[in-house]
Amino acid sequence: MSVALNYSARLELVDAFNRILREGRNPGEPVSEEDIEKHLYTAGMPDPDLLIRSSGEFRVSNFLLWQIAYAEVHITPVYWPDFRGVNLLEAVLDFQGRERRFGDISPLRNGE
């Protein structure tokens, strides 16, 4: 389990790049996605498959910006303090009905 207190995804990315720079890379050496991922606070942890956004907000609020690139988003009007097991079940059922494409495009359906 992980807990994020006073967390900023932007600061996490700045910290990751600064750690990469401190490694003494050769000038002009490109930085890869793998380089960035291994310097994130969540290094070694799988990316989230589902982001549940409470209180009906339609924004990610500077939360795990790199990690949620391919996460499915479930938006609920329920405020976090009132979020219960039934709300989690709704989110999971919604998630199960999604077509995960991970940035790819959907295959053509019915000759479209």
Question: Has this prediction a pTM greater than 0.85?
Answer: no
Q: Give the structural domain span for 33.
A: 8-43
Residues 31 and 75 in one domain: no
Kindly state whether residue 2 falls inside one of the protein's structural domains: no
Examine the domain organization and report whether 93 and 63 are in the same domain. Answer: yes
36 shares its domain with 55: no
Within this chain, do residues 58 and 92 fall inside the same structural domain, yes or no?
A: yes
Place of tokens 């050769």: 26
Residue 75 domain flag: yes
Quickly state the pLDDT bin for 86 (edges 50, 70, 90): very high
Total structural domains in the chain?
Answer: 2
User: Rounded to 10 degrees, what is the CA torsion of 105, 110, 111, 112?
Assistant: -50
Specify if 95 maps to a domain: yes
Residues in CB range of 107: below 8 A, 6 or more apart: none
Residue 27 has pLDDT above 60, yes or no: yes
